[in-house]
Structure 1
Amino acid sequence: MKSRTLRSDIVFTFSLALALILAWYVRNVLLLIYVSALFAVVLTPVVKGIMKVRIGRWSPGRGVAILVLVVVVAGFATMFFIFALPPVARDLREFISELPTRGPQLLARIRKIPLMQRLDVNSLNTRIQDFAANFATYIFLSAKHWASKLFDIITGIVLTVYFMLEGEKAYHWMLSFFPVEMRQRLDKTLVRAEARMGQWLLGQGALMLILGTCSTIVFVALHLRYAYALGVLMGLFNIIPIAGAIITVSLALMVAAIDSWGRVLGVAIFYAIYAQLETSFLTPRIMQSRVDLPGLAIIIALMLGAALDGVRGALVAVPTAVLVAVLLDEYAVQSEPVICGPRSLSEVENLHS
């Protein structure tokens, strides 16, 4: 009996080690599957909302609702690529071609800033000219990398659609691996996590819409180049909390620096005010009230997600933190014992006896 138990332990340990090695080698594929499944869970409330729409006696089924969602997202993406990207690409080509002449002008403006007089203008000017000369070569050499990323995005979209279509079957199949007595508790826990993760999407969507609208209005008022494209990017990138807004604000500051320091100051003042408003009012009211996570937990989750897989990791960091928080609350966190009032001496003696 002992030898049989020992053999089964050895087989289990060997199988676990083999599975971990295999998971490490296909970690990129597993991460893509996880991200797609997570987005399917997050988008499920949207699909259910579309399914509740009634036209007479007809209401869309799950397949039609998913198709409507895909068409709407594809429509917005197409409008962005048609109307926003061509002017940006044209101006970007002109900017790169004029960079050798614009570079010294920009550096001269920078040297007028206090504490920047010691800046080595000649060295930076040489680097700017080298960058302009090598930019086309860099784009050509990185084409394969970007093609691979585009393929991952398309694959992720297809997987997300399939998870939304057949996620129920996959979910119940996963639950079948657990003992019957544990299955019901785990099911209720995951349903609670799904509800909170869906609330995250609604809250994040509201923050994206607010930032995108405010940014577009301010950029148009400042007569900033490609104001509409930058405003849309500000809203879209805000799906990555904190990091997304910092990236797009940096881009807006670079664009503003080409024309005047007044526009740079205007963009900086706008984002400083908005960051304070979002941190102190919008995020507590919209985000934390929906996902029930403290701000510190959100920041730590973003740092860990970005360290593990860059932008894609930061993108799914908050809903993953919601899932982990729900599981920990159910299985790890011990509730505090109920503190009773003082007992009489006879009750204490009875308990000891």
Structure 2
Amino acid sequence: MEASAKDHRRAIVFFFAILISLGIAWKLAKELEILYVSALFAVVLMPIVNSICKLNIRGWRPSRAIGIVLMLLAVGLSLSLFFFIALPPVTRDLSQFLTDLPQRIPVAVAKLKHLPMADKLGLDTVAQKAQGAIEATASYLFTSIPMWLAHIFDIVTAAFLCLYFMLEGEHAYDFFLSLVRTSSRGRLDQTLRKAETKMSKWLLGQGLLMLTLGVTSTIVFLIFHIRYAVLLGVLMGLFNIIPVAGGIITMGLVCIVAALDSWTKLFEVVAFYLIYLNLENALLTPRIMKSSVDLMGLTVLVALLVGTALAGIVGALVAVPTAALVVVLLDEYAVKRS
């Protein structure tokens, strides 16, 4: 009877401890989100820091702190180049696009009216709705600027936490492992380190594919004299993270812009994308992504949708690395066990 009473007390204490923990987690949801994002980016960036620390310059090897500083300098230089070289033409093209599109919609409708059965499609109504949607989108972009500025403090906080995780994250990692049973500790350690490598390689490979498509598209669009070439090239690169759907969306937009000028430009754009798509599938993807975790397109798309729904753009940024982590854990503890 006495042992049974103790078990009941333990169960009650455990129940209320779970409730209190869930309540604290709900209350600190934003702070926990920042901690998770910081830790995840630290995990993804640490292989780069480790590679820098392995450099041997006449017998001198950079320490971890120096490796982090060098990585930050490289990131800062890359961002500076983007903001000073790529961002101004992108902003100019976006402003010109929003200005020109309402005026070019009637021209596009007039062209489409020459097609067979066009009179039954209600093109005038579609044009009015499209123009209203464009104006609403432009208004939202300008009115949401203060909301974006309000998140600057969270971004700065996450950046500092990421630095601390890279400097002292091993101590927190060792403490986490100490909470696991000794018999299971080694396996979990190997699985998490494997997930770390896979996540970093996937992001690096996907980043290279996005950069390749963005730069190639911008150059080709400039050669073909496509309107808003820089903006469309950047969008092609960014949306390449979304499998299949991202390419369809951006190519649809590019085709519309090209068709408004001439059918020849439309044909050139479609031909370029088909050639690039075949080269990417045959050469680039197998070489760049061969050592990364095998994520199905559906997995990436679902991860992006869930991450965006839970935490907006921040959730989208960490969605795919989180999916890679989940895939590795499932492969180790569910697939291999079965």
With normalisation by structure 1, the TM-score equals 0.79
Match of 1:76 in 2: 78
Q: Give 1:29 deviation, angstroms.
A: 3.9
Q: Which residue of 1 is the match for residue 220 of structure 2?
A: 218
**What is the aligned counterpart of 1:308 among 302, 306, 310?**
306
- 1:119-178, Cα deviation, whole Å (9 max, x unpaired): 334324434554565566433432233224555444443333332222212211211222
- The equivalent residue for 1:325 is 327
Q: CA deviation at 1:43?
A: 1.7
Structure 1 position 104, deviation (Å)? 0.7
Q: What is the CA–CA distance in structure 2 between the aligned matches of 1:83 and 1:125, rounded to whole Å?
A: 35
Show the counterpart of 2:32. Answer: 30
Cross-structure match for 2:188: 186
Contact 1:222 1:266 in 2 (8 A): yes
Query: Residues 331, 55 of structure 1: CA spacing in aligned structure 2 closer, same or farther, 3 A cutoff?
Result: same
**Per-residue CA distance 1:179-219 (angstroms, 9 max, x = gap):** 33332232122122222223223322332343234323322
The amino acid across from 1:210 in the alignment is: T
Aligned to 1:146: 148
1:9-88 alignment runs, 5 A limit: 9-88=11-90
Instruction: State the percentage of identical aligned residues.
Output: 46
Q: Which moved more, 1:102-111 or 1:248-257?
A: 248-257
Which residue number corresponds to residue 110 of structure 1? 112
Of 296, 299, 306, the residue aligned with 1:298 is 296
Task: Give the 3-state SS of the residue equivalent to 2:226 in structure 1.
Answer: coil
The one-letter amino acid of 2:299's match is A
SS at 1:332's partner residue? helix
Task: Report the aligned-residue RMSD.
Answer: 3.1
Q: What amino acid sits opposite 2:297 in the alignment? A: I
Query: Any idea what SS the aligned residue of 1:291 has?
Result: coil
Q: Closer, same or farther in 2 for the Cα pair 1:140/1:281, shift >3 Å? A: closer
User: Deviation of residue 232 (structure 1)?
Assistant: 4.2
Query: Contact 1:111/1:119 (CA < 8 Å) preserved in 2?
Result: no
Question: Which position in structure 2 is the counterpart of 1:342?
Answer: none
| Residue from 169, 172, 175 that aligns with 2:171 | 169
Partner deviation per Cα, 1:291-314 (whole Å, 9 max, x = no partner):
242xxx522322331231225545
Deviation at 1:62, TM superposition (A): 1.6
Distance 1:135 1:329 in 2: 42
Contact 2:89 2:230 in 1 (8 A): no
- Of the structure 1 ranges 165-174 and 301-310, higher mean CA displacement relative to structure 2 is found in 301-310
Question: How many Å separate the matches in 2 of 1:264 and 1:153?
Answer: 41
Counterpart AA for 1:50: I
Secondary structure of the residue aligned to 1:57 is: coil
In the aligned structure 2, how far is the partner of 1:115 from the partner of 1:142?
Answer: 41
- After superposing the two structures, state which structure 1 stretch, 171-180 or 261-270, moved more: 261-270
Change in Cα spacing, 1:160 to 1:226, as seen in structure 2 (3 Å) is: farther
How far 1:105 sits from its partner (Å)?
0.9
Partner of 1:275: 277
Residues of 2 paired with 1:69 and 1:239: CA distance?
23
The structure whose Rg is larger is 1
Q: Which runs of 5+ in 2 are unaligned?
A: none
Deviates more, 1:142-151 or 1:47-56: 142-151
> Paired residues, what number?
332
Q: CA deviation at 1:26?
A: 4.1
User: Which residue of structure 2 lines up, in the alignment, with residue 122 of structure 1?
Assistant: 124
Q: TM-score, normalised by structure 2?
A: 0.82
Contact 1:225 1:255 in 2 (8 A): yes
Match of 1:235 among 225, 237, 246: 237
The unaligned stretches of length 5 or more in structure 1 are 337-353
Question: Cα–Cα, structure 1 residues 334 and 60, in superposed 2: closer, same or farther, change >3 Å?
Answer: closer
User: 2:98, 2:293 → 1: CA distance?
Assistant: 46
C-alpha change, 1:66 and 1:263, in structure 2 (3 Å) is farther
Please tell me whether the aligned partners of residues 240 and 315 of structure 1 are also in contact (alpha carbons under 8 angstroms): no
